[in-house]
Amino acid sequence: MSGGEGSWGRVAPEARRFLRGRTRTLGTLALWSLLESAHTFLGGYGVARALDDGFLAGRTGTGLAWLGVAGAGALLGGLALRGVFAGLADLVEPLRDGLVRRAVRHALDRAVDDPARAADASAVSRLTQQTEMARDSFAGLVLTARSFLFTTAGALAGMAALAPVLLLVVIPPLLLGLAAFLATLRPMAAVQRAALDTDEALAARVGELAAGLRDVVACGAGRAAAAGVEPLIAAQAKLTGRLARWGAVRTLALGCAGRAPVVALLAATPWLLGRGVTAGTLAGALTYLMQSLLPALNTLMAALGSAGTRLVVVLERFCPPPAAPLPTPPQPQPPPTPTPTATASRPASAKAAPGTGNAHARGPAAGPTPGPVRPGVPAAELRGVGFAYGPHAHPVLDALDLTLRPGEHLAVVGPSGIGKSTLTALLAGMLTPDRGTVLVAGAPARRRPGGAPDPRRTLLPQQAYVFTGTVRENLTHLCPEPDAVPQARLRRAADALGTAELLERLGGPDAVVDPGALSQGERQLLALTAAHLSPAPLLLLDEATCHLDPRTEERAERALAARPGTLVVVAHRISSAVRADRVLVLDGTRAVCGTHAELPARSPLYRDLVGMWGADGGVAPG
């Protein structure tokens, strides 16, 4: 079934039900439109009588009187149009209100089935843009269709009253042009439907990427993320071209229907005059064609070609889904041939660029396992690093020197906005220093060519990255070969981080994770376990444990510190600084690095921060 036929098949019953409930409004519109038919009839008939009975017969007064009758018809047309617009509101606004109710009900039904998708981008598009599109298209279509029907009735009645033979000349080319035009409606509806599907898919995809732009930048996955959007944009461009081509065909049909009757009438003039048709009758027929019938036809065809096809496609989205076919009883099948058990493939969400869907942070993508840091090479190093968010902004970091030893555990502390997250972003290669050099494992910490992720580090920000997929996929997506991670290694990581109880509650490694059903703390636990399994030698936690209680946070940090590699933690509690090998204090003017025991004597800021945190390990300021 074609797109246009399928759309109309679903919309037609709903349309008939809607119109049957508003017969009084339709009757009012019809009564006002009868005045418009009278206006059309009097316009051409008055011109014909003014010529034949008035001016050509030498009776000027009679001619002027008939022109006055035609002018009175114009006044009737204006009065009719005023009444039509008043009745149109009573028909259009209930349609819009009903569509809004359906859109809200549809979103609520989805909320029951899937809370994470209750108000996705397609639902918002349906509630706002598509309801207004349907309202405007319906109003324009009713207005033009009504005008064409009653104008055509008045014009044909006038021609029949003047000379019935005129209908034999005018109607055949008119019907031919209408048939050519109607042939374009179905393919145009199919293209319009595909365009709306693409628009909704693009809106949903862009919405997903917007929620994870930070992750896309963090992982250098801009090219991979764009790969998911560019085909939709290209599809939209292709569909726009197809609509333009069908529009050209429609224009040809419009020219045939609109101009062919006039050409036919002029060509048949000698034949008509030979059969007693007067000059005034021919002038009246031309008046009907040029001033009434053809303008109404042009308006109708333009409305059907654009608003009509768009209306049918949009209304389809508000119709109940078609009933599913009854299931076919299963047929007996021969016993299957035994085959080796295949490892489940990762879903598209797990393979997609980081930052899509419910993504919030992601470290290295699958790739070769990085080797250990070379002996004598620091795990990370900052040499005279300066950075500011703008050419005239105050520096966030200024002439910072720092060397991280392999296997070291560093805590970073300081007031809110002092540059802690900026430091982790520089180490992750997300930001480029204005001055100085940032090295990771002896090489610059910059984005790799083509936006490839850097396997030397994993960054976990405050908003943990959890995607729709299995538990196992969420835990192993940072590993070079996720499917090859042994089950026993997963259990050891879960036991070390304290995630075993959460995994059991979720249903085990093969259970599907719904990110929207998890708390922030549960998301952080899953992300921390994934970081523990990651082979990256440098692990950066930018308040990645802020939603955990102190005991769970301590267990997670100790497990990550015991993991091979270097750990950098933006401290959220004083206990994080106490556990670290060294503490880096950022104060905006100078940085001081040392142990927790020696820093109170060296840094007044650290001494104040310890006092603000309190001896019970409270939450850090800011």
Q: Which residue has the tokens 């419910």?
A: 358
Asked whether residue 414 carries a pLDDT value surpassing 90, the answer given is: no
d(CA 59, CA 375): 117
Read off the amino acid at residue 403.
Answer: T
Three-state DSSP class for 100? helix
pLDDT in tens, 263-278: 888 999 999 998 889 9
Tell me the pLDDT band of 482, cut-offs 50, 70 and 90.
confident
Query: CA angle, 402 as apex, 399 and 404 as ends, to 5°?
Result: 160
Tell me the pLDDT band of 340, cut-offs 50, 70 and 90.
very low
Q: Which residue has the tokens 């859109």?
A: 103
Establish how many alpha carbons lie within 13 A of residue 24's alpha carbon, considering only the half-sphere containing its beta carbon: 1
Q: Which of 154-168, 270-284, 349-363, 595-609 has the lowest mean pLDDT?
A: 349-363
pLDDT for res 404: 92
pLDDT for res 617: 47
Asked whether residue 436 carries a pLDDT value surpassing 80, the answer given is: yes
More confident residue, 618 or 141: 141
pLDDT for res 125: 53
Most confident segment among 102-106, 147-151, 352-356: 147-151
More confident residue, 535 or 18: 535
Q: Which of 171-185, 212-226, 420-434, 465-479 has the lowest mean pLDDT?
A: 212-226
pLDDT for res 451: 52
pLDDT in tens, 13-61: 766 777 776 777 777 778 877 877 787 888 888 888 889 888 888 899 9
pLDDT for res 11: 62
Q: Which residue has the tokens 């995809």?
A: 205
d(CA 521, CA 312): 47
pLDDT in tens, 243-257: 788 878 777 777 777
Average model confidence (pLDDT) across the chain: 76
Q: Which of 330-339, 356-365, 373-382, 403-412 has the lowest mean pLDDT?
A: 356-365
Largest CA distance in the chain: 120
Paired tokens of 614: 């309190």
More confident residue, 167 or 353: 167
Asked whether residue 568 carries a pLDDT value surpassing 80, the answer given is: yes
pLDDT for res 371: 46
| Short-list 297, 221, 226, CA closest to 262 | 297
Asked whether residue 7 carries a pLDDT value surpassing 60, the answer given is: no
Asked whether residue 336 carries a pLDDT value surpassing 90, the answer given is: no
pLDDT in tens, 450-477: 555 678 888 888 888 888 888 898 898 8
Sign of the CA dihedral with 156 first, then 162, 166, and 170 last:
negative
Classify residue 124 by burial, with Cβ atoms within 10 Å: 0-12, 13-18, 19+.
middle
Paired tokens of 7: 């759309």
pLDDT in tens, 197-228: 787 788 777 877 776 665 566 555 677 677 77
Q: How many CB atoms lie within 10 A of CB 162?
A: 24
pLDDT in tens, 89-123: 777 777 767 677 776 666 666 555 544 444 455 55
Share of the chain above pLDDT 90, in %: 12
Three-state DSSP class for 458? strand
Cβ–Cβ < 8 Å for 464, 502: no
For the segment 548-577, the average pLDDT, to the nearest whole number, is 89
Tell me the pLDDT band of 377, cut-offs 50, 70 and 90.
confident
Tell me the pLDDT band of 616, cut-offs 50, 70 and 90.
very low
The torsion defined by the Cα of 286, 292, 297 and 303, in degrees rounded to 10, comes to: 150
Q: Which of 94-108, 434-448, 486-500 has the lowest mean pLDDT?
A: 94-108
For the segment 126-154, the average pLDDT, to the nearest whole number, is 74
| Short-list 136, 133, 157, CA closest to 43 | 157
pLDDT for res 44: 86
For the segment 131-146, the average pLDDT, to the nearest whole number, is 73
For the segment 310-329, the average pLDDT, to the nearest whole number, is 54
Cβ–Cβ < 8 Å for 408, 380: no
pLDDT for res 526: 92
Share of the chain above pLDDT 70, in %: 74
Tell me the pLDDT band of 341, cut-offs 50, 70 and 90.
very low
Asked whether residue 5 carries a pLDDT value surpassing 70, the answer given is: no
Classify residue 565 by burial, with Cβ atoms within 10 Å: 0-12, 13-18, 19+.
buried
* Domains assigned to the chain: 3-316 (1.20.1560.10), 360-364+379-613 (3.40.50.300)
Q: Which of 352-356, 506-510, 593-597, 604-608 has the lowest mean pLDDT?
A: 352-356
More confident residue, 134 or 41: 41
Partners of 402 in beta bridges? 382
